[in-house]
Amino acid sequence: MFLLTRKNKTIYIFIFLLGTIFSCVNDLDTIKKISYKSTDPDERTTDLNVFYTDSGYAKIEVYAKLAETFSKPEPIVKFKDGVKVKFFDNRGDVVSVLTALYGEINQKKGTIFVRDSVQLFNEKKQQRLETEELFWNQKDSAIFTNKSVVIRTPDALFFGKGVRTKQDFSSYEFIKPEGKIDLKNKVN
């Protein structure tokens, strides 16, 4: 009969612990096969704040609570929890602010696409553009959409389908204007 003495117990515990320690190997390729999906982003960033500069001057600032970067099929950064884009003038002052609940930056094409509760605001002119989706092109700093648009100014509301403007939102052109409501002459 086998007796468990204090010395034997210590040896068995030591062997058990050694077996446990050396049997736990984390093979990264195996873990990746189990936990990685082809639709997962390559990188996730919380509280992203990025400045795009030209010749040392801020041109654009992008802020998002959550940014997911994908490299395939093309390099895209997705903002699923909202995005805020500030556009700067040559002096470094903010000229307009673009906000939306969802956005994407296509780094290869140099474009930003935003949708869902989209607003473009020019503080100096106190005018706000509201739509459901907008595109911004870095090459010519054009902002445009073919969707329904409302532009609010201190004097009037403008309605239409589609609009083109520059990123400073200092002027705009409706593709298909539909109406205007004059707010200066309203009756109380």
Token pair listed for 30: 């195996």
Q: Which residues pair with 97 in a beta bridge?
A: 86, 121
pLDDT (tens digit per residue) in 27-36: 666 655 556 6
- Asked if residue 142 is part of any domain, the answer here is yes
Of 140, 139, 135, 105, which is closest to residue 118 (Cα–Cα)? 135
- Is 31 part of any domain? no
Confidence of residue 49 (pLDDT cuts 50, 70, 90): very high
Q: What CATH number should be reported for the domain holding residue 114?
A: 2.60.450.10
User: What's the number of domains the chain is made of?
Assistant: 1
The reply to whether 65 falls in a domain is yes
pLDDT at residue number 168: 92
Asked whether residue 4 is assigned to any structural domain, the reply reads no
Q: Does residue 171 form part of some domain?
A: yes
pLDDT interval class at 90 (50, 70, 90): confident
Q: Is residue 16 part of a domain?
A: no
* Cα 81 from Cα 78, distance rounded (Å): 9
Does some domain include residue 172? yes
Model confidence at 123: pLDDT above 60: yes
Q: Among 19-28, 59-68, 94-103, which stretch is predicted with the lowest mean pLDDT?
A: 19-28
Rg from Cα positions in the chain: 28
Taking the C-alpha atoms of residue 141 and residue 175, their distance in angstroms, rounded to an integer, is 18
Question: Which residues, 6+ apart, have CB-to-CB distance to 5 below 8 Å?
Answer: none
1 falls within a domain: no
72 — pLDDT class (breaks 50, 70, 90): confident
Block residue for tokens 């445009």: 144
Average pLDDT, integer, range 104-127: 94
Range of the domain at 130: 38-182
Residue carrying the six token digits 């805020």: 84
Residue 1, pLDDT > 50, answer: no
